[in-house]
Structure 1
Amino acid sequence: MEITIERLGHLGDGLAAGPIFVDRALPGEVVSGDLVGDRLENVRVIEPSEHRIAASCGAFKRCGGCSLHHVHPDFVADWKQAVVVRALAAQGIMIEVQAIHTSQENSRRRAKLSGRRTKKGATVGFFGKASDTIQTIEPCKVLSPEIMAVIPALEAFTVQFGSRKGPLGFWVLSTDTGIDVSVEGMEHQAEADLGPFAEWAGSNGISRLSVDNETICQHQAPQLTFGKVKVAPPPRAFTQATPQGEQALQEAVGRALAGADKVVDLFSGAGTLGLPLAEVATLHCMENDLGLLEALAHGVRHTQGIKKVTTSARDLYRNPIDHTDLIKFNAAIIDPPRAGAEQQVRQLAQSNLRDIAMVSCNPVTFARDANILCAGGYGLKWVEAVDQFRWSPHIEIVAHFSKA
């Protein structure tokens, strides 16, 4: 059958009337193929879009790590900004995205890779799209050179310690002090001597090696720097995907809260967004993950030249901080997971905080929460988009809300 693509879906697939989903098709394209359920298979592009380009990555057709290598970057930037604008408009908020910050090639500093033993050795990479086959990713346009450089060592680890019955998972983070690796899928090695694991890490320059959440060895604490504070995150801790994306978020939060001297950081994580403000403002960080809070507090204790930073463990979903307890602050940062933070935002809306910097990785829940703040008397001053996940449909948002 032959169809015309109307728009991109939220996962980057082309959408035609029906809806019919077409992998890696673009708006305006005429394509043909075989309809299987609601998907067009064996796709052939009859009339290509002017925005279609040759993929710059040789692994694009087989790797499931990216979905938009075939699209001109300007189109992707415009599309991502439009997604945010449409989400806000659906809540009755009319505003343009004033900037988009796109991370450069080969800047991704964290990745979840998979490894599987083979008859000839091992394969380490990403799973193919809708597949359980691990695809090699050399060359890769996404991952940092530091992560790419450690893949041969991960292959050697898989050969030596992996099982033919199932894959290994490698959580890899490139830090200021080296590569941090956490491994999953090692149940078959539960009773094994840990010495060879430590030897592998030492011989391959791995700063820290852990299996699941248990640290096997640490030759040097993996560190990330937020403002003046050096933080050693726990294994598999959430971090921003790229240094450029992290900097864009930090700078936007700093602009939103300029002049604030008493800041509460909600869903603070390890202090990525809040700690850069500690040079000019007191900071109270709230987070449910004790490991992240301990890492944050440890870094603060060993840092001079910053204001007072305190922490408290709190599940802000089940137990949001009440608006009456926010009176001691004049500004807030809120950076919730994809589900947003509806109940906590309702308390913020009732507060008298002067400024709120909201960060989100989900345009739909961001727009919902933005509407709550606006209904509570806050004005949405500006919105920016941050694209840390190049060649994917993922979008992050940072916005400034203010109440006179």
Structure 2
Amino acid sequence: MNTEIDVKITRLGAQGDGVAESEGASLFVPYVLPGETVRVAPQDGDRAALLKVLEPSPSRIAAPCRHFRQCGGCAVQHAAPDFYADWKHGLVSAALASRGIEAEVAPLVTAAPRSRRRATFAATRTKKDVMLGYYARATHNIVAITECPLVVPEIEEALPALARAVAPGLSRRSRASLLVTSTENGLDVAVTGGKPLDGALRGELGHEAEASGFARITWDGEIIAERLPPEISLSGLRVMLPPGGFLQPTRQGEAALVDLVREGVGKAKRIVDLYAGSGTFAAAFARTSSVHAVEGEKRALAALDRAMREQGPLLGLKPVTVETRDLARRPLLSSELNTFDAVVIDPPRSGALAQAEEIARSSVPVVASVSCNPATFARDARTLLDGGYQLERVTPVDQFLWSPHLEVVGIFRRT
């Protein structure tokens, strides 16, 4: 095969790569747009590296980040907003069509730059310093960054301090992961993959953590320093975020999801919140409804339960009961679900097929399904439709700007 060839991009695939035809086979090229003629270097399999854009699309724009194409964090910064929104909207339509579902998809609820309140960075030691950034595309090579137009300013501004704070616990032989979250009381930093803790390292990290001014630093789940409780506000309920705990990536996106789900369930008085986390939806609905929150992660539910006991009466919230349960292995049965007026479900990317099958057997009037994966959303939606539900509304919510990922909210009603 030639080391360089010119190809015409016909469409953008589900992962943000352009698709071209070469010698009767599909070729996937990153950082291109439909209609462009580009020069590429074919690689192993069906991949190709972009060398030059020969005929650019009218929808091509200058990327807003200097690290684009070196860092692997973003796939489509080069696309104009209108094209980008249409492409993401189409991902949901295509996922539904693949399961034979005909439904009108509402316009995309878009994300704003500098709105991500959490990000995961990679870090390692070099001969002289610390390298902190994101992995290059499809590699374990860290690209050091000085800016990131995805994250909120307080995270971007803290990049040098993050490197200093974790430096004592890094080695040149390993890659550590830093999950950084902007909370109500400052940054929460959860580190995994660094050196094993011992007395000396714990002391060094504690000193650096105090100097950094971060709210909390944890190391492989152990709290090293906590200046202030890293709280998050969930519809006015302040919840202590467990180390590494789940949180919607943007405040605006979280509000959009809550509003869409609230509109869908209407005046339901008894709600079961499945895969409840620390209470994103439970906290919102407790203002008007009793809620049973079910989640497999004990620490997340404990944080919600504590916040409700301490603040619920002062906020005038209705009861929220909690149940620790692995819903993938032991979903709520239809007989258990039938005691509720509405189901809210927000599973992980793998979806919730077993739970969807039980919901499909139930008589619950309305189901609000939230998903971060259109493919598994469509699979589970097919199960609900086959069980007699009607898909009333589908709305894509983009919390993952310039990436192929997005959230979907679907409202199902029993017919």
Q: TM-score range by the shorter chain?
A: over 0.9
Query: How many residue pairs end up in the alignment?
Result: 404
Q: Would you say the 8 A contact 1:378–1:402 is kept in 2?
A: yes
Q: Would you say the 8 A contact 1:106–1:141 is kept in 2?
A: yes
Structure 2 residue ranges without an equivalent (≥5): none
Q: Would you say the 8 A contact 1:163–1:188 is kept in 2?
A: no
Structure 1 residue corresponding to 2:120, chosen from 88, 112, 120? 112
Residue 226 (structure 1) aligns with: 234
Residue 179 (structure 2) aligns with: 171
Alpha-carbon distance, 1:291 to partner: 0.9
Structure 2 residue corresponding to 1:19, chosen from 26, 35, 58? 26
Q: Would you say the 8 A contact 1:265–1:283 is kept in 2?
A: yes
Moved more, 119-128 or 293-302: 119-128
Q: Deviations over 1:191-218 (max 9, x none)?
A: 5352332222222111111101111221
Structure 1 residue corresponding to 2:43, chosen from 14, 36, 41? 36
**2: distance between equivalents of 1:31 and 1:186?**
42
Q: Would you say the 8 A contact 1:116–1:158 is kept in 2?
A: no
Moved more, 38-47 or 69-78: 38-47
Structure 1 residue corresponding to 2:399, chosen from 377, 380, 388? 388
Classify the secondary structure of the residue corresponding to 2:280. coil
Structure 2 residue corresponding to 1:152, chosen from 160, 184, 202? 160
Structure 2 residue corresponding to 1:354, chosen from 352, 365, 382? 365
Structure 1 residue corresponding to 2:330, chosen from 307, 310, 319? 319
Residue 299 (structure 1) aligns with: 307
Classify the secondary structure of the residue corresponding to 2:42. strand
Distance 1:167 1:138, change over 3 A: same
Q: Deviations over 1:79-134 (max 9, x none)?
A: 11111111112222212221311221111111111122223322211122233332
**In angstroms, what is the RMSD of aligned CA positions?**
1.5
Q: Deviations over 1:244-275 (max 9, x none)?
A: 11111111111111101100001111111221
**2: distance between equivalents of 1:251 and 1:104?**
18
**2: distance between equivalents of 1:239 and 1:344?**
22
Q: Deviations over 1:6-45 (max 9, x none)?
A: 2112211111232211111111212222222312235222
**2: distance between equivalents of 1:133 and 1:49?**
31
Classify the secondary structure of the residue corresponding to 2:224. strand
Q: Would you say the 8 A contact 2:31–2:50 is kept in 1?
A: no
Moved more, 215-224 or 179-188: 179-188
Q: Would you say the 8 A contact 2:146–2:159 is kept in 1?
A: no
Structure 1 residue corresponding to 2:389, chosen from 378, 383, 389? 378
**2: distance between equivalents of 1:256 and 1:239?**
22
Structure 1 residue ranges without an equivalent (≥5): none
Q: Would you say the 8 A contact 1:77–1:100 is kept in 2?
A: yes
Residue 309 (structure 1) aligns with: 320
Q: Would you say the 8 A contact 1:117–1:158 is kept in 2?
A: no
Q: Would you say the 8 A contact 2:72–2:134 is kept in 1?
A: yes
Alpha-carbon distance, 1:240 to partner: 0.7
Residue 9 (structure 2) aligns with: 5
Q: Would you say the 8 A contact 1:349–1:378 is kept in 2?
A: yes
Q: Deviations over 1:116-169 (max 9, x none)?
A: 222332221112223333223222211111111221112213443322222322
1:290 aligns with 2:301: no
Residue 351 of structure 1 aligns with an amino acid whose one-letter code is S
Aligned residues with identical type, % of pairs = 41
Alpha-carbon distance, 1:320 to partner: 0.9
Q: Would you say the 8 A contact 1:67–1:392 is kept in 2?
A: yes
Distance 1:188 1:346, change over 3 A: closer
**1: distance between equivalents of 2:14 and 2:334?**
34
Q: Would you say the 8 A contact 2:31–2:69 is kept in 1?
A: no
Alpha-carbon distance, 1:349 to partner: 1.1
Name the TM-score, length of structure 2 as normaliser: 0.94
